[in-house]
Chain A
Amino acid sequence: MKKKRMSQGVLYVLLMLVTAAFAMPLVWTLTSSLKSEKDILHYPPKWIPESLTFENYAVVLEKFSFLHWMVNSLIIAIISTFFVLIFNSLAAYALARLDFKGRGLLFALIVSMLFIPIQIDIIPLFLFFSYIHLTDTYWALILPTMANVTGVYLLRQFFASIPKEIEESARIDGCNDFRIWLQIILPLSKPVLSAVAIITFVSSWNNFLWPLIATNTDNSKTLPVGMAQFMSAHAGASGSAPEYGMTLAASVMAILPTLIVFFILQKHFVRAITSSGVKG
């Protein structure tokens, strides 16, 4: 027992260390966003600002349509995530639990799209959207996200691992596949659905290259594209002196919504299935 407590203690310390290491860069982001521009690069590093200022936040909100971009990002991320969860889990159900000719090939084709770097399909995609007159709309940002591949990949894997026996009694009761999907598979898959939801939300939220090409006006601009107006951290310094304060304040505001979403969804990472259902 004593030994167990000790190993628990070691694990605990380990976890705390890793957490601290991961937190440090973010703590710096937060505290620096509350410093004036000239104090941000103070050496030696100061963790607690001498005088707190919300000026950086005020400037970002005042000068730019930050809230407008944020609303755009939220709408796009929420709609995208919603459709990804439905479309991907339907497709994953078919790919994992239904038998049909060419299933393996179709799955391979879908997953193989992950192997193509986004940079090379962005121009054809843009020309396509321009052709159907949908550039600079929400749909230009939502539709490509709906064609999410990672979600199908993850969900199929998880659905396939659910024992077949679980649906058998339901089938005997006359349930069709749709009800099995809705009432048996989905409830059992809360952890992976939450994971897919978070991943989709974040990637929609942070996506830069495609929204940069596909949007032109504040009507559809998302946060990363909007923020690029005053962000310059790229290594190939382009002659503009960076303004760290505004960028950091904007990022803190941009990080918060995603962290809240994560916080809400993460309770599903605790064991949702208490039993495999095979027992009885």
Chain B
Amino acid sequence: MKKKLVGFVFMLVLALGTVLAGCSQPKESSSDNPKQEGKNGEKTVTNINFWGGWTGPDGDVMRTLVEQFNQENADIKVNLETLQWTPLFEKLITQTKVGNPPALMAMHPQDIAQFASLGVLDPDAAKGAGVEKDQFNANAWDGTFYDGKQYAIPLDMHMHALYLNNEMYEKAGLDPANPPKTGEELIDYATKLTIDANGKHPNETGFDINNVKQWGLGMPNNHHGFYLWFALLNQQNEKLLDDSGKKTAFKDDAGEKAWKWLGELVYKHHVVPAGQKAPMDDFKSGLTAMVIDGPWQLPGLEGQDALKWSTAAFPRIFATDAVWGSAHVLTFPKVKDAKEREAAVKLAKWIAEHSEAWAKSGNIPSNLTAQKGLDDLPGRKAFIEMMPYTKVLPNIPKTAQAFSASSPSPIMNASQGILLENKDPSAITKEMRDGLEAIISQP
């Protein structure tokens, strides 16, 4: 009996030993180590990681680009990782913590402040790339700076625009080549395009809101609803935050006016369906005649052969032209190896120069030369035209908290309060201001 007990213990130790011994094996085979020296020391290949949050067709375009770069540059091997932005940033932080960040990291201009202030990004790399201001759109160029230092190389811009269903336009006696340019026109067109089961429009008596066959307009009601408001605020020549980035700067009535106008599209003019979850899906399936969305939807629309569509600039609702936009910029996390950084700079510069191909992803290249070749791609023109007046969110360290795309988020709260729950614009404006200031005023 004692023997058996000994045998039992022996077996356990063996099992545990196998586990612990096995631990060290896969490590050696893993290509965790970014640098691999050539056998004779003649030719060295620098392996670098490049991360970006492109999980749709945009990811495919970038993969093709990276493949091309790898073929052209025998001494550098780039490994592209795509992942949703939030988990990607999570990985950026944890990998930085253990000294293994990617050499090139895509992000949005408003993300730079957070990661720069955490000390993740290298402020000196972009300077060495030899890219010049006059090669890029000015808005995109400005977006690469934080605290007076350039942290990134601009890649693209993406902003809201109006997508139109050409056939529905024609049926309603409208011309898709002559899209709405003002707020009144937008409401007018959308009213004509909203039709209930009896063929009535929202401005006619007897319009049955519970039985609408076709809606005039679709628009986002998540954080993008706030972006719409942000555009309308800028159209009134108001700024969201003051220069310190610690206080809101807009006037109450300007904020209220913008929210009121947006809410009325749904609840007064009845041209936008309440409670939409996926506005672009509604547009694609022929439920809505227009939709406000970004250029990342372009590749998906190009695959819809049954749908005839076109794009138009975001209308001027108030005094001046302005539209919400963001950008993808290429940043350089602090890597230990100078060679890796050098390779990353080379890659970033190469991508910026080849960003004409990146336009297939829908995003509009920030590089001015690359923009010129886009005319034969459908729908890009309206976006390029908006480039000069595209407004990006302020670059503040508290971006992730202040402008979060998921709850708790003062901007999502406001957007959904107006667009989903028809709340009072003045109360919402005040609540949003308080929410934002509570976050941004923190040290």
Contact = CB atoms under 8 A, between A and B. Distances in A.
6 shortest A-B CB distances, which residue pairs? Answer: A236-B405, A240-B56, A137-B26, A232-B55, A236-B406, A130-B98
B224 to A, nearest CB: 7
A179 B2 CA distance: 12
Interface in A221-253: 228-232, 234-243
Given A237-B224, A237-B405, A241-B297, A138 B32 contact: no
Given A219-B31, A220-B30, A229-B59, A236 B1 contact: no
Nearest to A181: B8
B56 A232 contact: yes
Interface in B273-295: 280-281, 284-285, 287, 294
Contacts of B87: 212, 228
Contacts of B285: 41-43
Given A239-B158, A241-B280, 13 more contacts: A38-B305, A63-B60, A139-B23, A142-B19, A178-B4, A231-B55, A235-B405, A238-B85, A239-B85, A240-B84, A241-B296, A243-B57, A243-B300
A241 B82 contact: no
Contact of B57 (A136, A212, A241): A241
A86 B15 contact: yes
Contacts of B85: 238-239
Interface in A159-198: 174, 176, 178-179
A146 B15 CA distance: 13
A127 B347 CA distance: 31
B118 interface: no
Contact of B405 (A130, A219, A238): A238
A176 B30 contact: no
Interface residues of A, number: 47
Interface in A101-140: 123, 126-127, 130, 133-139
B238 interface: no
Given A38-B304, A236-B223, A236-B405, A216 B95 contact: yes
Contacts of A235: 222, 405-406
15 contacts: A38-B306, A212-B87, A217-B30, A219-B26, A228-B84, A228-B87, A230-B55, A232-B56, A234-B84, A235-B406, A237-B222, A237-B405, A241-B56, A241-B57, A242-B56
A133 B27 contact: yes
Contacts of A136: 27, 30, 32
Interface in A61-81: 63
Given A137-B26, A213-B91, A241-B296, A83 B284 contact: no
Contact of B91 (A212, A237, A241): A212
A51 to B, nearest CB: 14
Nearest to A176: B1
B237 to A, nearest CB: 27
B98 A127 contact: yes
A219 B56 contact: no
Size bracket, chain B contacts: 35 or more
A197 B304 CA distance: 45
Interface in A134-157: 134-139, 142-143, 146
B219 to A, nearest CB: 13
Contacts of A239: 53, 85, 158, 294, 296, 326
B55 A228 contact: yes
Contacts of A234: 84, 86, 406
Contacts, number: 143
B55 A212 contact: no
Given A212-B91, A216-B32, A135 B406 contact: no
Contact of A240 (B58, B90, B98): B58
B354 to A, nearest CB: 20
A102 to B, nearest CB: 21
A241 B30 contact: no
A139 B31 contact: no
B54 interface: yes
A135 B56 contact: no
A73 to B, nearest CB: 15
Interface string A195-222: 0000000000000000011001101100
B30 A137 contact: yes
A198 B287 CA distance: 44
A41 B54 contact: no
B81 interface: yes
A261 to B, nearest CB: 22
Identify the interface centre among A135, A137, A146: most chain B CB within 10 Å of its CB.
A137
B22 interface: yes
Interface string B341-378: 00000000000000000000010000000000000000
Interface string B64-105: 000000000000000101111111001100110110100000
A1 B23 CA distance: 63
